[in-house]
Amino acid sequence: MTYDRVDVPDSGEKITIQNAETDELSVPNNPIIPIIYGDGIGPDVAPAAQTVLSTAAEETGREINWMRLYAGESARDKYGENLPAETIDAIREFNVAIKGPLTTPVGAGYRSLNVALRTELDLYTNVRPTYYLDGVPSPVKNPEQMDMVNFRENTEDVYVGIEWEAGTEEVQQVREFVEEEMGYDEMIHDGPVGIGLKPISEFGTKRLVRKAIDYALENDRNSVTLIHKGNIMKYTEGAFRDWGYEVAEEEYGDEVITEDTLWEERDGEAPEDAVVVNDRIADNMLQQLLTRTDEYDVLAMPNLNGDYLSDACGAQIGGLGIAPGANIGDGRILAEPVHGSAPKYAGQDKVNPSAMILSGRIMFEYLGWDDAADLIRDAVEATISEKYVTYDIHRQIDGGEKVATSEFANRVAEHIERLA
């Protein structure tokens, strides 16, 4: 494929899907990897991440050939639109990419570009591993107990954006249908009202839960917990729970055991090499993140719950400045940090790039570059442990040296070279 405004590297090879049934990739040692810098602090943290990721690749005998793509403000400058077709097409073609944060206005303006990218590319699983790095200040006593991986459904729930604004003809039509045709004539208050739909499907639920269970089995995790509000929303989130259990019981045989079976038939003794599937109500789970942190491994949940829960997990290990994430579909990944674009800090070379660096680590794991991924984690931890940190961590610790975004990244790269 040719591109009008994207420069494809002269060197490097394309990552391709080798086996569509298993999502297995064919990964060369010199891949072309697209990168979107993003908005706000994106042009600060993305180049910092490139420095670290390139170093980790080189120290393990590989080479990344970066291909710059555009979305958000940079795309408006270059294309006159927020999300050009070339950006979508390039990620489809090259399969593995990473992006910085993109800005979305609250209450008005264009739809979330993050959601649009996930939907257009059918990146239906948002994966957010949350683990503690030594030296990071935390608001909890034992942050090292946090080691969870959140699997958040990415394409359904209220994030689909099916809603109608108060005072419009469309919302009046929906209201009349609900009240007159469906018989819910006393359920909506008088006066202006906004109305939205919350679709949760069997198809969307089951493919997400499969990803979560497969991950647990492949990574020696003990449990997968379905997080829902099914006690109230019985036909959406309650259905998510039921469909999740169907996947576990019908597709995995002895590899998976439900919590009910575990206690009814085995007195709580899980068989070796089996994953326990259980479920928790969302609000209760927010409490158990704090009170029973070490009892949970992999969490699978609808879109909105996943947003809340993953941010709450991130708070326990020091905040979103170090919280990584990635959007994964069938044979395709778009890594991205959890944090936003923080426009007031844009261009100041001061924010923490760890979240984007560690998002690159997820991307490396997806490529099968576990040796390089381990180097990245160890080097980030070593840099923070020696108190060579950006302002967000420096203001919470005694002593240490406050450094710029680029300086932090350079030090992480130096640690990678020493550790390799």
259 and 376 share a domain? no
182 found inside a domain: no
How many domains, in total, are found in the chain? Answer: 2
Q: What is the pLDDT of residue 185?
A: 80
d(CA 190, CA 236): 26
Annotated ligand binding at 345? The verdict is yes
46 and 131 share a domain? yes
Annotated ligand binding at 378? The verdict is no
d(CA 284, CA 233): 15
406 and 337 share a domain? yes
180 found inside a domain: no
Annotated ligand binding at 152? The verdict is yes
> What is the reported pTM?
0.93
Annotated ligand binding at 112? The verdict is yes
Q: Token match 């999502």: residue?
A: 23
Give me the active site residues, please: 159, 229, 283, 307
170 found inside a domain: no
276, with CB counted inside 10 A (0-12, 13-18, 19+), is buried
Q: Cβ of 297: how many Cβ atoms within 10 Å?
A: 20
Per-residue pLDDT of the chain (420 residues; tens, 9 = 90+): 889 999 999 999 999 999 888 889 999 999 999 999 999 999 999 999 999 999 999 999 999 999 999 999 999 999 999 999 999 999 999 999 999 999 865 544 556 888 889 999 999 999 999 999 999 999 999 999 999 999 999 999 998 889 999 999 999 999 999 998 888 887 789 889 999 999 999 999 999 999 999 999 999 999 999 999 999 999 999 999 999 999 999 999 999 999 998 898 888 888 888 999 999 999 999 999 999 999 999 999 999 999 999 999 999 999 988 999 999 999 999 999 999 899 999 999 999 999 999 999 999 999 999 999 999 999 999 999 999 999 999 999 999 999 999 999 999 999 999 999
Annotated ligand binding at 19? The verdict is no
Domain stop point among 275, 291, 316? 316
Contact status, residue 301 vs residue 148, Cβ threshold 8 Å: no
255 and 203 share a domain? yes
181 found inside a domain: no
379 found inside a domain: yes
232 and 309 share a domain? yes
Domain stop point among 316, 337, 372? 316
Q: What is the CATH number of the domain that holds 84?
A: 3.40.718.10
d(CA 13, CA 28): 6
Annotated ligand binding at 344? The verdict is yes
210 and 83 share a domain? no
247 and 129 share a domain? no
Annotated ligand binding at 339? The verdict is yes
Contact status, residue 213 vs residue 274, Cβ threshold 8 Å: no
Q: What is the pLDDT of residue 22?
A: 83
Range of the domain at 218: 139-147+157-162+197-316
143 and 276 share a domain? yes
Cβ neighbours for 177, distance < 8 A, ≥ 6 positions apart: none
Q: What is the pLDDT of residue 369?
A: 98
183 found inside a domain: no
239 and 281 share a domain? yes
174 found inside a domain: no
143 and 291 share a domain? yes
d(CA 138, CA 143): 7
218 and 277 share a domain? yes
As given in the structure block, the two tokens for residue 107 are 């209450």
Domain stop point among 316, 350, 379? 316
d(CA 257, CA 292): 21
128 and 2 share a domain? yes
Annotated ligand binding at 395? The verdict is yes
Annotated ligand binding at 394? The verdict is no
408 found inside a domain: yes
